[in-house]
Amino acid sequence: MPPQKQQLEALIACAAKAPAAEAIRLDPFQLIAFEHALQERLCDLLEAIADALPNQVLLDAADAAATTLRTYFPAHLKLENDILFPALTAPCRADRSVREAIALARSEHDADEASALELAEALANRDEEGRYREAEALGYLLRSFFEQQRRHIAWEETVVFPMARSCFSAASKADLAAALLRHRMRCECLPLVSLLAPQKKPCNGNCADCEEKPASAIA
Ligand SMILES: [Fe+2]
Ligand SMILES: [Fe+2]
């Protein structure tokens, strides 16, 4: 099986292993760890696509990667920016290292979101025969994106979140779990549903379905 197919299957298999509500209540960071595992599988897929340039890229792999970059990826950044970081800010207010790490993560997110959209455009930009005319530029974009993401995830997992956990009380942990569950309920129309069930329309977390989902629907 071509490496791109293997990595696409690994991404879809990973997406099916989302933690249950009970696991998130026990440890809210499990949801973030799950999303990071998905990002790592996305990086592996992007690397396999880069290795297949210029002429061996599988169109379904490129399309799935572009969809993931346009939908799931910004949704993860939004989850961290809008829910996780504000939840960490209050209990960790006294910890200057956590505050600085969060500020740095936010600024990296801004640049990463723009890069993800640029990369998604480049992956979709094929000629009539499905080939990439700017293969060298696409290879550069792919490699810089997955290298930056692997570094960012490793930094969050090994530096930022362990620091944040250390100043987290049981009450703030419960608040974070509740906020994450509300977010997940609102956005179940999104993350990788577009890959798992292609008939569902992908959204960016702000679609009509998200708006209509009542907060009372939380598990
Ligand atoms: Fe992040
Ligand atoms: Fe992250």
Q: Are 23 and 101 in contact (CB under 8 A)?
A: no
Amino acid at position 215, single letter: A
pLDDT digits (tens, 9 = 90+) for 25-51: 999 999 999 999 999 999 999 999 999
State the distance from the centre of ligand 2 to the C-alpha of 106, rounded, in angstroms. Answer: 10
pLDDT mean over 80-87: 89
How far, in whole angstroms, is CA 129 from its chain's centroid?
Answer: 31
State the distance from the centre of ligand 1 to the C-alpha of 114, rounded, in angstroms. Answer: 14
Q: What pTM does this model have?
A: 0.84
State the distance from the centre of ligand 2 to the C-alpha of 131, rounded, in angstroms. Answer: 32
Output the six-digit token pair for 64.
């799935």
Q: How far apart are CA 108 and CA 92, in angstroms?
A: 20
Examine the pLDDT at 85 and tell me if it is beyond 70: yes
Ligand nearest to the CA of 105: 1
Domain enclosing residue 51, as ranges: 3-217
Domain count, the chain: 1
Q: Are 113 and 77 in contact (CB under 8 A)?
A: yes
DSSP 8-state secondary structure symbol assigned to residue 18: P
State the distance from the centre of ligand 1 to the C-alpha of 157, rounded, in angstroms. Answer: 9
Report the pLDDT value the prediction gives residue 208, as an integer from 0 to 100.
56
pLDDT bin (cut points 50, 70, 90) of residue 170 is confident
